[in-house]
Amino acid sequence: MLDMKFVRENPDLVKENIKKKFQDDKLPLVDEVIALDQKKRDAQKEADDLRNKRNKISKQIGALMAQGKKEEAEEVKKQVAEFAARLSELEVIERESDEALLQKMMVIPNIIDPSVPIGKDDSENVEVTKYGEPVVPDFEIPYHTQIMERFDGIDLDAAGRVAGNGFYYLMGDIARLHSAVIAYARDFMIDRGFTYCVPPFMIRSNVVTGVMSFAEMDAMMYKIEGEDLFLIGTSEHSMIGKFIDTITPEEELPKTLTSYSPCFRKEKGAHGIEERGVYRIHQFEKQEMIVVCKPEESPMWFDKLWQNTVDLFRSMDIPVRTLECCSGDLADLKVKSFDVEAWSPRQQKYFEVGSCSNLGDAQARRLKIRVKDENGNKYFAHTLNNTVVAPPRMLIAFLENHLMEDGSVTIPEVLRPYMGGKEVLVPKH
């Protein structure tokens, strides 16, 4: 959410930013919030003036009564009563204006970084750098669920009977590989100085609206019936929420946390074959990283965060690339975002396995996450997040890139301690 003072003083810039995000339907919101803000401030000024007048003349009542001027005292009392009635009206105007203003301000997108490429949708995202050499073997690579089935490693049919489409049972070596990747990612981030955390897997509505847009919330979040609770779609939500309504001394920044959690997402809409299996699902597990820092340090942390994911995948011999999200593909709260994509030898293209985002002070402003400097001045922190690894998708990349012609799957050295020392997985079929 933008600072209202910034919008008031820079309406053209805010409108130009909306145009860059190809959300022209939101252009009227700028003038609407400025008008609402003026209405609210006018009401506040009138109310302040009335309170001052009321305080002054209220003091006259006692003096007039002492002087026996009852009629004059009664007239003053009538004035005080009129002031009180008008103040009640003004309080309603202030409250209603403030509520309407907040709703509209939360829909206006954040100001994107000047370096963000302009484009309408993800088809116009820009490749930044490739890491590792993409390899296409001279043997056919099966679909990822077929690879898993050779190891008796997945049961989609049973999951469908138990929970419906979009769920799965992982079994045996594949389930162990899944857990190994999570454990390795945890230790990888701890070694990079991040504090490990297991957060709440449900959050209240005020945290939900603090960390994401209304559109994202509707598309992603599962609500607990009869409770003010939502299942998290990513641990970033509860990790950023950890700092709600806090004031952190500047010398304690940055806060760097890495968290494990299950994640739950609606994933609305029909998807093609490449998004079936364990690619796009309602429940998965993930290792995440978040940073709360000073505004001037957020660009530096942004580069560190996406590099962590690149380094993790490369340590497991998986080729990746970074892709910068264009303006039209940025969620409303984001200032800048990179996707990390892994190489798929079967599809002979890259696919998304992680997303790194700098949200500026948008989440901090919504959640009142503030910092106090050495002089006692307070300001909003910047927040960032990035996927360390989400094993369901990561498993696809892992299995395809480490599959041998005989159907076995090699285990990179860094994962072997988490796999009981195994160097290779041998299929059962």
pLDDT in tens, 131-158: 999 999 999 999 999 999 999 999 999 9
* pLDDT at 68 > cutoff 80: no
Rg (CA), the chain: 28
Average pLDDT of the residues in 235-261: 97
Q: What percent of the chain has pLDDT over 70?
A: 94
**Range with lowest mean pLDDT among 28-32, 65-69, 326-330, 411-415:** 65-69
Task: Characterize the bridge pairing of strands 195-197 and 255-264.
Answer: parallel
pLDDT at 59: 65
Q: How confident is the model at residue 414 (pLDDT cuts 50, 70, 90)?
A: very high
Q: How confident is the model at residue 63 (pLDDT cuts 50, 70, 90)?
A: low
Q: What is the CA 413 to chain-centroid distance, rounded?
A: 33
Per-residue pLDDT of 261-316, as tens digits, reads 999 999 765 455 555 678 888 999 999 999 999 999 999 999 999 999 999 999 99
Q: Is 79 exposed, middle or buried (0-12, 13-18, 19+ CB in 10 A)?
A: middle
Q: Which residues contact 221 (CB under 8 A, 6 or more apart)?
A: 208, 230, 231, 233, 265, 266
Longest dimension (CA), the chain: 109
E-assigned strand segments in 102-150? 126-131
What span, in angstroms and rounded, lies between the C-alpha atoms of 414 and 412? 6
Q: H/E element holding 257?
A: strand 255-264
What span, in angstroms and rounded, lies between the C-alpha atoms of 78 and 392? 72
Which structural domains are found in the chain, ordered by start? 4-105 (1.10.287.40), 122-425 (3.30.930.10)
CB-based contact 128:405 (threshold 8 Å): no
CB-based contact 308:314 (threshold 8 Å): no
Residue indicated by tokens 């340590």: 315
* Cβ neighbours of 21 (radius 10 Å): 22
What span, in angstroms and rounded, lies between the C-alpha atoms of 305 and 371? 22
Which residues are bridge partners to 249 per DSSP? 372
What span, in angstroms and rounded, lies between the C-alpha atoms of 247 and 270? 44
Length of the chain: 429
Average pLDDT of the residues in 241-252: 98
Average pLDDT of the residues in 204-221: 88
* pLDDT at 23 > cutoff 90: yes
CA distances from 41 to 5, 9, 28 (A): 12, 15, 20
Please indicate whether residue 153 or residue 64 has the higher confidence score (pLDDT): 153
String of DSSP letters for 68-111: T-HHHHHHHHHHHHHHHHHHHHHHHHHHHHHHHHHHHHTTSPPP
- Where helices occur in 23-69 by DSSP H, the ranges are 27-66
* pLDDT at 21 > cutoff 90: yes
